[in-house]
Amino acid sequence: MNIEELLHGESKNIEYKEKLPSNSDRYTRTVVAFANSQGGKIVFGIADGTNRIVGIDDEILFQVMDSIAAAIYHSCEPAIVPDIEPCTADGKNLIVVTVSPGTQRPYYLKSKGKEAGTYVRVGGTTRPAHPETIKDLELEGANISWDALPCIGFKVTREAIEKLCKDMNRYRKELKNRKDLPEVTETNLENWKLITKNSDGCTASNAFALLTSEFFQLAKTQCAVFKGTDRVVFLDKREYTGPLYGQIEEAVMFVLRNIRLGAEIRGIRRVESYELPVDAIREMIVNAHCHRNYNEPSSVQVAVYDDRLEVTSPGGLYKGLTIEQALEGHSTLRNRIIANVFCQMGLIESWGTGLRRIKSLAADFNLPPPEFIDSSIAFRVNLFRKTALNDEHQTGSKTSEKPRNSIGETSEEFRNNFGKTSDKLRNNFGRTSETVQVLPPEENDNKQNNQLEQLNSTQKKIVGLLKENSTLTAESLARQIGISSRSVEYNIQKIKEQGLIVRHGSHKDGYWEVKV
């Protein structure tokens, strides 16, 4: 046991008691809260508030330990068996009660019953659990995923099934290394437990409703831009509903419209990039939807401030997982069906890597380390922006495309250039991609001209833009055409297969040769 860690003060996982209270509820409710959360320690013999070590007298030390064990045994349901052991600090006796995260949740005080006697930890305090939190704890204890439950009152239509299959197939076809995957069919939806067939037709899971409709009122994404660094003055706000993957796409596009798009000269080329890594933005928003607690009466929130991007997901980390464990690659899935669907669509690359990936991407952009904040009611990620002062001192920093009145402010011109979001789902939501450079165009034979005529309208636009500007990036092409960068990459691949463009050099410094 590390005594120094115990003496740092009260926290989410440590609570002090100066002496054994006459009313055992004053500490058994914290035992319950620790079991319902990420575990923790109660230290008897330290005054809370002052952190002064008062100790427990030798004569009563083991008597107090026995009383604590008896109170916990008789007060808590289901049974909680903590580790209770003595230790010494500054020559005085302490009693440390260690409670592990429980697996039979929810835990509660028998005398108060489940509804009133269930507690959780919020910051460094013990608080009664809301009814929504109790429902989530019940599902955890039963090892049931909420999104797998039948969606009562939701009608499954043929149109919804076909649209979900079509959208999933579109995402799968656009994945760089997964083009050989078979097409998603209704049978897959059954196997993945999105729908269940019965004599009356089909029963939808909660996941199916989330992926095809606006059935759940609070399953939405609220996006806002604030002036300054707090939630006082709105500069812009939007609310997105409908299928989750569509909300994710729209939310990512919202952020990209409201952060700086910079440019720098590399050799003879002008290269554009956003001030924040696009993959990190997407990862934050995808994780927020994938791991949120849908029993909580709130929505995913995406907020852009002058100094940071903040994404908040209802519900804390699942089943006692800690931030430290998550950063080490451990993962617990609150919504298993949604996680599987997102994985099939390529929105999730691998489980358990989300927080580490955000941290790594921030480091690659020379940004401050992201902040991860967990409580029983929400999980928040802050991705910090470079301030103007930091930009001046950063070598090779990006130069803003256009001066703006405020880092967070939007301009109508910028919005129009980027391309307004539409009600129709787009093929992607802004993957970063390699710089595209082209050589001066050359005339080709009739065969190549015939191949050019066989291209679709998007592919013809790409070829035309590449011939006009040798420094366009895939993101620039996406903005000018009004589609996503991933769709640009997909169409470039099709053009390449026709032999109309050839890649020279590396992904980073190479270029495309246009042969028509």
CATH of the domain at 381: 3.30.565.60
Higher pLDDT, 147 or 436: 147
C-alpha to C-alpha distance for 204 and 62, rounded to whole angstroms: 57
Give me the domain span that covers residue 456. Answer: 446-514
Question: Based on the domain organization, do 273 and 407 belong to the same domain?
Answer: yes
The pLDDT assigned to 86 comes to: 95
Question: Based on the domain organization, do 493 and 385 belong to the same domain?
Answer: no
The pLDDT assigned to 407 comes to: 38
The pLDDT assigned to 72 comes to: 97
C-alpha to C-alpha distance for 169 and 37, rounded to whole angstroms: 39
| Least trusted range by pLDDT, from 110-119, 203-212, 244-253, 272-281 | 272-281
Is 432 inside a domain boundary? no
C-alpha to C-alpha distance for 293 and 253, rounded to whole angstroms: 24
Percent of the chain with pLDDT over 90: 57
Q: Give residue 229's pLDDT band: very low, low, confident or very high (50, 70, 90).
A: very high
Question: Based on the domain organization, do 106 and 253 belong to the same domain?
Answer: no
* 3-state SS record for 257-295: HCCCEEEEEECCEEEEEECCCHHHHHHHHHHHHHHCCCC
Question: Based on the domain organization, do 151 and 132 belong to the same domain?
Answer: no
Residue 480: give its domain's CATH number: 1.10.10.10
C-alpha to C-alpha distance for 209 and 243, rounded to whole angstroms: 8
Give the tokens for residue 219. Answer: 């399953």
Question: Based on the domain organization, do 119 and 193 belong to the same domain?
Answer: no
C-alpha to C-alpha distance for 418 and 433, rounded to whole angstroms: 16
CB within 8 A of 507, min separation 6: which ones? 434
Question: Based on the domain organization, do 322 and 419 belong to the same domain?
Answer: yes
Chain-centroid distance, C-alpha 474 = 25
Q: Each residue of 450-459: pLDDT tens digit? A: 677 778 878 8
Span 64-76, mean pLDDT? 97
Question: Based on the domain organization, do 269 and 406 belong to the same domain?
Answer: yes
Question: Based on the domain organization, do 462 and 482 belong to the same domain?
Answer: yes
Question: Based on the domain organization, do 110 and 41 belong to the same domain?
Answer: yes
**Scanning the structure block, which residue is given the tokens 């089943």?**
319
Q: Give residue 395's pLDDT band: very low, low, confident or very high (50, 70, 90).
A: very low
Is 439 inside a domain boundary? no
The answer to whether residues 348 and 286 touch, using CB atoms and an 8 Å cutoff, is yes
Tell me if the pTM is above 0.75.
Answer: no
Question: Based on the domain organization, do 240 and 343 belong to the same domain?
Answer: yes
Percent of the chain with pLDDT over 70: 81
Q: Each residue of 148-179: pLDDT tens digit? A: 999 999 999 999 999 999 999 988 887 655 56
Is 437 inside a domain boundary? no
Which of 427, 460, 477 finishes a domain?
Answer: 427
